Structure formats: C-alpha cells, structure tokens
Structure 1
Amino acid sequence: MKKLVVENVTKIFGTNPQKGLKLVREGLDKETIFNQTGLSVGVNQASFSANEGELLVIMGLSGSGKSTLVRCINRLIEPTDGRILVDGVDITTLDAPEMRKLSQKKLGMVFQNFALLPHKTIYENVEFGLDLMGKPADEKRKVSEAMLAQVGLDGWGNSYPSQLSGGMQQRVGLARALALDPDILLMDEAFSALDPLIRRDMQDELIKLQKRMHKTIIFISHDLDEALKLGDRIVLMKDGIIVQTGTPEEILTEPANDYVRRFVEDVDATKVLTAENVMKKAEAVVYVAADGPRAALRKMRKNSISSIFALNADDNLLGIVHAADAAKAVESGDKKLEDIIKPARSVSAETPALELYPMMSESDWPLAVIDTNNEFIGVVVSGNLIAAVAEYGPDPSI
C-alpha cells in the first residue's frame, strides 16, 4: 500500500516562479534557468512513492534538492507545482488549518540540529506536540515515558538538553516526533551533526526501532554508506532531479547513468548483499510431525545431500539432521526424528553476506536462513556465497 505519493513536484525560488516553471517543462536545466531568469530550481518535477512501513532514503550531494523536497512534503516549503498525496489526500490543496490537523496525525519531523527547547525538561520537550494538541497532563507523561523508553532514554525525563550528549539529544528529537504517533516520519539529515561513532549507533538504533514500530520513514542523507545501510530503497537526486530510484543493490549494480556510476564507484557493493541475496531454496526438508529417520535419509540420498533441516508444521526451524545419525537410527529401529535433531546454525535474511564467511568456515554444514518469525526460508552454501560475492569484488578467504 502506498502511504506517500509525490507527483511531478517542482519548487522554484524567486519572483515569478511560473516563468521558471515554464522553462522547467520545456526541459531546460537548473543552471540555464538561473542564467536566463535569476530563478533557482530547488526541485525539478520529482516523482516517487513510499510504501507503508518502508524506510526510504532520499540522498544527494549539497544542493541536490533533497532537503527542499522533504520540506515540500510537509509544506514547510510550498511547492510551485505538483501533487503530494498522503493516504490518497492531496495535501497541496489543504488550507492552513486542514494542513495543521493532518500534520498532527500523519507527519512527524526530526531535524538535523535537534531543535530542542533548552529551558524545558526532556519530558517537556517530548510532550511539546501533545501540548499543542491540548492533551491532559497524565496522558502526556505516559506517552513521553513510553517514547523515551523506546529510544533508550528511560530515566532521563527530568534532565535538561544541556545535560545530554549530542546523540542523546537526537534521541529526544526522535522521541518527540514519535510521541504524536505519526504515520510518516520525516528525518532531515537527522544524524549528520553527530560524531561518526555516535552516528553509527544512531543508525543501528533506528533500524531496531523500525523493526518494532514499522513506520513509513523518509530519511534525508548526503552519505551513501548511510543510505545503503538504512534504506529499503534509495531516491538519488542531482540538481533538483531524481536520477534513479531503486534498492541499494540496484543502485550499486545497475546505475542508471554515468553520474550514478561515478557516485557509487568507490563503494564496496558486497556490503549490501545479504543472506537473502545469496541463499538458495533447500533441496528438501523434513517435518517432525510426518517424517522419521528413514524418510530423512531417503530425502538426503535422493537430493545428494548429507544433512537436512528439520521444521515443524509452521515451517519454523527446529534443527538439522545429519545422514550418519539418520542411518544409525534406522539401524537401531528408532522411528522418532526428534531424537536425532541437532542444533542448526541460522542467520536472519538481513545478515550481510560478508559476515557469513567466518560462519561458513567454522563448519562443513550449510547455514539456515530464517525470517523474523523463525520461519525457514532458504539455505546458504559456500558455493553460492562465493559466486555471489565474486561478482562484486575479490573473494575473502574462507
């Protein structure tokens, strides 16, 4: 389901922007329009959509139009042309009271410079938006406590911003945005002002938070590594124009033009390969409710494999059965598969492929790939892993 749809949004700064809009529609570029009219094209006919629960990164270098675009989405900046639909409602048609009401329910914003009120406590900062909505004190405090716990600041509510580190202050800004329970969270260069180590920690925290809350997040960044780490998809901009939209792997391996190719040429593409990218479908599995040692051995023999993963009726991974153990059970007349199931090594679908190498080196057995519900979805074997990674660079030594 598409939560946000941006259609041909253009923003032109200066007097008589309609004159610039005409030139934009004629295909003139940003520099030519400025030289002819003195008008600055911030965003040029941008179109993209964000699905519900998706973390979409809009990225580009300074002056690419990414921050202007995100400010058009919540109308901190009024677009010159185009449509912006939130749950099917074109917000460019709303008057100020209607837009304010929609923003309170649908849109949250996290700024680069934290934007905390220094004279208010952390509780009061988180509750600021709830104050504007007229929420009662007990409800505000309950929400602020819950949101601070979500971002790892439980117990800091009575402190003041000056008593917190930069990373902690940014967590407060995030908690304040989440306190309104917005459907869409807009994050404009939210981690750019942080030290590198704190920035990485905040990226990790955002990933964990997203897994719990499943918000639609529009994240603005100029850092490609950050975009690759966070984004389900990436929107890459240059001179106000969207030059490519795609998954991190698509951006790296299928650049749309020379600009994108130059932009990503120094990035290690193997960093975006995950277990899901390099896994294969299992030749066979056994189910404890239906199969015994003899059935397990037969399936292994038929598929020329020496081990087989054991699942329950819900496809949850229970472990692995080895051929030698199954053969011994058959010889002894044991018909219970449970007696020969050994613990299986498993990884999540999102595990970076390069992290799989040391795991593969520790055992001759394959790795099971599971989803967030422990459901078995595939298997990683050395050959597939090496072949996939070899397409993007030198093979690490196993």
Structure 2
Amino acid sequence: MAKIKVQSLTKVFGKRPKQAVKLINKEKSKDDILKETGMTVGVNQASFEVEEGEIFVIMGLSGSGKSTLVRLLNRLIDPTDGNVWVDGEDLAKISDKELREVRRKKMSMVFQKFGLFPFRSIQENVEYGLEVQGVEKSKRSAKASSSLELVGLKGYEDKYPDELSGGMQQRVGLARALANDPDILLMDEAFSALDPLIRKDMQDELLELQEKMEKTIVFITHDLDEALRIGDRITIMKDGSIVQVGTPEDILTNPADDYVKRFVEDVDRSKVFTAENIMVRPETVNVEKDGPRVALQRMRDTNISSIYVTKRNKQLSGIVHVDEVSQAVKNKHTDLTPYIHKDVPTVTPDTPLHDLFDLSSTSRVPIAVVDEERKLKGIIIRSKVLAALSGNEVTTNESDS
C-alpha cells in the first residue's frame, strides 16, 4: 500500500468553485476557465502515489500549482474535489482534531523561509513544535538535541538565528521538522533561498540524512537539476495539471511531450546518469570451468579482443587478452589463471557518468561495474559513455576495447 495516495485532487480559487469543476470535467483549459468564470484552477485532477521511504519530487515553473498541491496533502488548503489518503486514511473525512494530530505526529513541513523565532535560541526553536504539543521539557529537550546532532548542528544549541548562516538556519528548520519524528516530510522549495554552493551542500545533506532516516519525503522545487539529483521519482506540473511522473531516467529519456522536452534539453546528463544506466551485459568466462580455448573461442565469436573472467558466483577475477590466450592455446595450456590480469578498471553501479568520462577515454578495456561483493554486474564501453553524454541511444552490445 502506498504511503500517500492522491486521486483526482483539485483546487479552485474563487467564489463558485463547483462551476469551475464542471468546466474542468469538460476538459476546459485553465485560461478558458479564468475567462469564463473569473476563477483560478490551482490544481487540476492530480493523481499519483508516493511509496514509503522515497523522495518524491514535485516540480514546475512558477504558477504551475506545485506549492498548492503540497499544501493540499496536509490540508493546509482544503481541496475543492478529490481525495488524499495517508496510510489508507482519507484526510477529507477526519475531524479537525484528528487532522491536527496527523500534522503534529505524522507529517512535518519545511518551508523556503526558515520561519525561525529571532529571540529564541536554536534549541528553543527546534523544541517549539513539541512545546506546543505539551511535551514535557526533558523529553522535548532530548528530541531537539538529537535532531540538531542529526543535521550537524551539535554545539550550536545556545546560538540565535542571526548568528547562523542561511544554510545553517535551514538545517535548524529541518531539525525542527525532524524533532516530531514524522513519517512524512513535506519540503516546499526548502533550499531555493540558499546560494548555489550552500544549496548543493544541503542537497547532499538531505540525501545522507535520508539514508539514515528512511522518511517519505515530498519535495517541491522549480529547479530540474535539483529534482534530478535528489528525486527517486519526479512529477512535472504545468497549469495545475500533472504532465509526467517518472524516475529521473524516465524523464530524461522518454519525455511525455514537448513541454517536458524543453525542460530537459539543457540538462547536464553527466550529473544524472550513472554507470548502471549505461552498462551492458558482458561476455565472460568462468575461471573455475573454462580454459584458454573456451576464452579464445568466445572472443572470436563476439569479435572482442579482451574478455572478463569471473568465478562461479560471478565475482570478478580479472581480464584476459586475446594475444596471450592465443599463445596459451598454442602452448597447449589448460589453465586460464596465469593469464588473468587483476588490475582492471572498476566502478560501482551508482558512479555518476561525469566520473566515467576520463576513465573510459584512457582505459584500453571496458570498465567493469561491480557491487559491494565485487560481483560483475555489467561493463561500460566508450561508445555508451559518449552516447549518453550526447543524449543518443546506443543499442549495440559490442566492446570497443
């Protein structure tokens, strides 16, 4: 079951919203509805699901409806139509008291503007939400201290907001949200007010925190690079409607329409694609059962000059080259082991494309992609790297070593 399920969620701003909903159902555009009724469609029949533990990014230009949508998720804004379920519970059907409990204990929100109290210490700012809930001093103090340590601000408890940089203030805002230990974090343009370098640091910080916390995060941004960098999946909005939902790779390689194409055409793919995205199935031989003759035949059959060698569990042993294996066959050797070169280029599946370019351009052999147990997952050939950088697809499975 999805952590958050949204179905046909709609918000119309104006005096006669039901009239506008009728026009929406007739597939009238946002501009047409504004002209006919004077009402503004903030969100237009949005439907999607957010899985537990994922970072789900909602992005779009100013006026696309993304900030309205995130406020509909916790009913800071009441929907005109549609439903939001959290853990299977319909938020439209719960009482105001129950809704307050959901906001306090299940969902926390981090805004673009830090919203810190200038005359409260950092510790007191982080404790504030717990204080409002009536949590006793010792417990809220312990939770606040733990949250500050989590975001790297241990030792700053007695400082005041004006003594901290913008990035540090945003960490305080994040710590305050985490102090409630919510299942869900709603982050509305949380890093947009920060300088580019600080913003990148905060993105890294969020990804590192997520590895520890495993929260469900809905993140709002207008920045595609930010969305691609942190999102497990991305929703792109236009004029209140959802245009496409997909993984970063889906968005880049299969844009739903011309609007999304224009969004992604200038993206630096080297920062988005990873080794896993471009690796191909390798030809291999098994050192425990295959000898020089099998290795030579396999290289001839596939027209390659080197072949990777593995053990039975696919653990990488190294690579052998055609000239040396040919000599082994001439000498009637049956053991491949003496001809294995163990010093081979390796990367992990999550290695960014931009880190592969120099390696692939200088390596005489394809790059091996291995997991934590050094099992061979695939290989990367030079043409695949170049094709991914240019935005073109490569379907060949040949090695260019």
TM-score category of the 2 structures, normalised to the smaller one: 0.7 to 0.9
In the alignment, structure 1 residue 171 sits paired with structure 2 residue 185: no
Instruction: Give the structure 2 partner of residue 308 of structure 1.
Output: 308
Instruction: Tell me the SS of whatever aligns to 2:8.
Output: strand
Instruction: Give the structure 1 partner of residue 192 of structure 2.
Output: 192
Uncovered stretches (5+) of structure 1, i.e. residues with no partner? 394-398
The verdict on how the C-alpha distance between 1:215 and 1:392 changes in structure 2, with shifts beyond 3 A counting, is farther
Instruction: Give the structure 2 partner of residue 161 of structure 1.
Output: 161
Instruction: Tell me the SS of whatever aligns to 2:131.
Output: helix
Calculate percent identity across the aligned residue pairs: 50
Alignment-mate amino acid for residue 174 of structure 1:
L
The verdict on how the C-alpha distance between 1:12 and 1:180 changes in structure 2, with shifts beyond 3 A counting, is same
Instruction: Give the structure 1 partner of residue 238 of structure 2.
Output: 238
Instruction: Tell me the SS of whatever aligns to 1:6.
Output: strand
Deviations 1:268-295 (A, max 9, x none): 4454322111112332365xxxx55x74
In the alignment, structure 1 residue 78 sits paired with structure 2 residue 78: yes
Paired with 1:20 and 1:189, the residues of 2 have a C-alpha distance of 28
Instruction: Tell me the SS of whatever aligns to 2:3.
Output: strand
- Bigger mean CA deviation after superposition, 360-369 or 44-53: 360-369
- Bigger mean CA deviation after superposition, 61-70 or 28-37: 28-37
The answer to whether the 8 Å contact 1:300/1:308 transfers is: no
Instruction: Tell me the SS of whatever aligns to 2:6.
Output: strand
Q: Give 1:201 deviation, angstroms.
A: 1.4
- Bigger mean CA deviation after superposition, 373-382 or 319-328: 319-328
- Bigger mean CA deviation after superposition, 14-23 or 42-51: 14-23
Alignment-mate amino acid for residue 163 of structure 1:
E
Instruction: Give the structure 2 partner of residue 48 of structure 1.
Output: 48
The verdict on how the C-alpha distance between 1:131 and 1:298 changes in structure 2, with shifts beyond 3 A counting, is farther
Alignment-mate amino acid for residue 320 of structure 1:
G
Instruction: Give the structure 2 partner of residue 396 of structure 1.
Output: none
Instruction: Give the structure 2 partner of residue 350 of structure 1.
Output: 350
Paired with 1:97 and 1:311, the residues of 2 have a C-alpha distance of 61
Instruction: Give the structure 2 partner of residue 127 of structure 1.
Output: 127
After superposition, residues 136-147 of structure 1 pair within 5 angstroms as: 136-147=136-147
Instruction: Give the structure 2 partner of residue 320 of structure 1.
Output: 318
The answer to whether the 8 Å contact 1:326/1:340 transfers is: no
The verdict on how the C-alpha distance between 1:216 and 1:376 changes in structure 2, with shifts beyond 3 A counting, is farther
The answer to whether the 8 Å contact 1:308/1:320 transfers is: yes
- Bigger mean CA deviation after superposition, 203-212 or 319-328: 319-328
Paired with 2:284 and 2:389, the residues of 1 have a C-alpha distance of 25
Q: Give 1:296 deviation, angstroms.
A: 6.8
Aligned length: 386
The verdict on how the C-alpha distance between 1:136 and 1:112 changes in structure 2, with shifts beyond 3 A counting, is same
Paired with 2:93 and 2:47, the residues of 1 have a C-alpha distance of 18
Q: Give 1:167 deviation, angstroms.
A: 0.5
Deviations 1:283-313 (A, max 9, x none): 2365xxxx55x74756644542635355695
Alignment-mate amino acid for residue 178 of structure 2:
L
Instruction: Give the structure 2 partner of residue 57 of structure 1.
Output: 57
Alignment-mate amino acid for residue 27 of structure 2:
G
Paired with 1:369 and 1:153, the residues of 2 have a C-alpha distance of 37
Alignment-mate amino acid for residue 283 of structure 2:
E
Paired with 1:11 and 1:248, the residues of 2 have a C-alpha distance of 27
The verdict on how the C-alpha distance between 1:285 and 1:105 changes in structure 2, with shifts beyond 3 A counting, is farther
Q: Give 1:371 deviation, angstroms.
A: 4.7
Instruction: Give the structure 2 partner of residue 8 of structure 1.
Output: 8
The answer to whether the 8 Å contact 2:292/2:336 transfers is: no
Instruction: Give the structure 1 partner of residue 277 of structure 2.
Output: 277
Q: Give 1:9 deviation, angstroms.
A: 0.5
Alignment-mate amino acid for residue 50 of structure 2:
A
- Bigger mean CA deviation after superposition, 85-94 or 336-345: 336-345
Instruction: Tell me the SS of whatever aligns to 1:108.
Output: strand
In the alignment, structure 1 residue 215 sits paired with structure 2 residue 218: no
The verdict on how the C-alpha distance between 1:125 and 1:318 changes in structure 2, with shifts beyond 3 A counting, is farther
Instruction: Tell me the SS of whatever aligns to 2:82.
Output: strand
Alignment-mate amino acid for residue 148 of structure 2:
L
Instruction: Tell me the SS of whatever aligns to 2:364.
Output: coil
TM-score by length of 2: 0.85
The verdict on how the C-alpha distance between 1:383 and 1:73 changes in structure 2, with shifts beyond 3 A counting, is same
Instruction: Give the structure 2 partner of residue 248 of structure 1.
Output: 248
Uncovered stretches (5+) of structure 2, i.e. residues with no partner? 300-304, 394-401
After superposition, residues 247-396 of structure 1 pair within 5 angstroms as: 247-284=247-284, 292=288, 295=290, 300-304=295-299, 306=306, 308=308, 310=310, 320=318, 322=320, 342=342, 344-371=344-371, 376-392=376-392
Paired with 1:272 and 1:328, the residues of 2 have a C-alpha distance of 43
Instruction: Tell me the SS of whatever aligns to 2:356.
Output: helix
The verdict on how the C-alpha distance between 1:12 and 1:390 changes in structure 2, with shifts beyond 3 A counting, is closer
Q: Give 1:84 deviation, angstroms.
A: 0.5
Instruction: Tell me the SS of whatever aligns to 2:138.
Output: helix
Paired with 2:94 and 2:279, the residues of 1 have a C-alpha distance of 48
The answer to whether the 8 Å contact 2:12/2:40 transfers is: yes
Paired with 2:193 and 2:175, the residues of 1 have a C-alpha distance of 18
The verdict on how the C-alpha distance between 1:148 and 1:297 changes in structure 2, with shifts beyond 3 A counting, is farther
The answer to whether the 8 Å contact 2:296/2:326 transfers is: no
Paired with 2:44 and 2:165, the residues of 1 have a C-alpha distance of 38
- Bigger mean CA deviation after superposition, 55-64 or 243-252: 243-252
Paired with 2:99 and 2:198, the residues of 1 have a C-alpha distance of 35
TM-score by length of 1: 0.85
